[in-house]
Amino acid sequence: MDLSHLLHSDFSICRLEGFSLSENIWRAKIPLTEEDLFAIYSYDGENMKADVVDGEGEKFSLFYVTNPGPFSSKIRDEVEKILSSMIYSLSPKEEKVRDRVISLFLDKYGIEGEMPWSDDNTSIVFRSNKNKKWIGIMMDIPPSKLKMQGEENVDVINLKHTQSKIPSLIDNRYIFPAWHMNKKTWITVLLSSDLDWDFFSSLVEESRRLVEK
């Protein structure tokens, strides 16, 4: 059963409880109200599908019939409603930009961020799965480090970029000379709520490309 129509534009699989990643597929096993039946949800990064199995792992054949009867329709409705309630219990509008960054690395590249220092629970490093080099490091820093006004710390991420293109990227609003890293080959991106996400995603991709070439 294809449930991809339930996924909204800001959907992030890693924010759903019960799902785990194995062989590039996210899966969750949820018990149904009908005794000894379970919904198996699977997400490959683009499509969300569901199967129904019994307690021994055998597929429930009535779930797959072309013209389901009342009982099968009831099972289908429950499978859809469970996933829908899981997805829409999350509010994309309340999601912090740093959470979107974590989701981007995990969903697109299968990279799980790691905290490199035991005394720092805000910095997160994203390493290439290919060679373990840093693609980016997300940090929580005082705005004064970017020569900005304000007292509350801001979220930023350092990304690698093509050296010749860095000067034209720096606008000191969203893109800054790299803080605490080589300014010739790295940039600092302010994770502002109004950051162009497509543009940011392209910066992440460029950093990955340069690190893995």
Number of domains composing the chain: 2
Lowest-confidence range among 56-65, 107-116, 151-160? 56-65
| Structure confidence at residue 126 (pLDDT) | 97
Distance CA 184, CA 167 (A): 9
Q: Any idea how long the chain is? A: 213
- Residue 206 and residue 139 share a domain: yes
Judge whether residue 53 has pLDDT over 50: yes
- Residue 127 and residue 205 share a domain: yes
- Residue 83 and residue 15 share a domain: yes
- Residue 198 and residue 155 share a domain: yes
Domain boundary among 57, 73, 92: 92
Task: Summarize the confidence of residues 112-134 as an average pLDDT.
Answer: 92
- Residue 113 and residue 199 share a domain: yes
Contact yes or no for 69/54 (Cβ under 8 A): no
- Residue 207 and residue 140 share a domain: yes
Q: What Rg, from alpha-carbon coordinates, does the chain have?
A: 21
10: pLDDT confidence band, cut at 50, 70 and 90? low
7: pLDDT confidence band, cut at 50, 70 and 90? confident
- Residue 128 and residue 55 share a domain: no
| Structure confidence at residue 16 (pLDDT) | 76
Task: Summarize the confidence of residues 125-144 as an average pLDDT.
Answer: 95
Domain boundary among 52, 75, 92: 92
Number of alpha carbons in the 13 Å side-chain half-sphere of residue 122: 9
Task: Summarize the confidence of residues 189-197 as an average pLDDT.
Answer: 89
- Residue 85 and residue 150 share a domain: no
To 5 degrees, how large is the angle CA 12–CA 16–CA 18?
Answer: 140
- Residue 109 and residue 62 share a domain: no
| Structure confidence at residue 92 (pLDDT) | 44
Contact yes or no for 48/4 (Cβ under 8 A): yes
Task: Summarize the confidence of residues 167-191 as an average pLDDT.
Answer: 95
- Residue 68 and residue 103 share a domain: no
Judge whether residue 191 has pLDDT over 70: yes
Domain boundary among 92, 107, 140: 92
Average pLDDT score, the chain: 89
Domain interval for residue 187: 97-212
Which percentage of the chain shows pLDDT scores above 90?
62
> Would you give the end-to-end CA distance of the chain in angstroms?
40
Task: Summarize the confidence of residues 77-81 as an average pLDDT.
Answer: 92
- Residue 151 and residue 59 share a domain: no
Judge whether residue 94 has pLDDT over 50: no
- Residue 61 and residue 16 share a domain: yes
| Structure confidence at residue 28 (pLDDT) | 94
Q: Tens digit of pLDDT for each residue in 11-48?
A: 778 667 788 888 889 999 999 998 899 999 999 988 99
Distance CA 44, CA 52 (A): 18
CATH number of residue 145's parent domain: 3.90.1150.30
pTM above 0.85, yes or no: no
| Structure confidence at residue 15 (pLDDT) | 66
Judge whether residue 54 has pLDDT over 70: yes
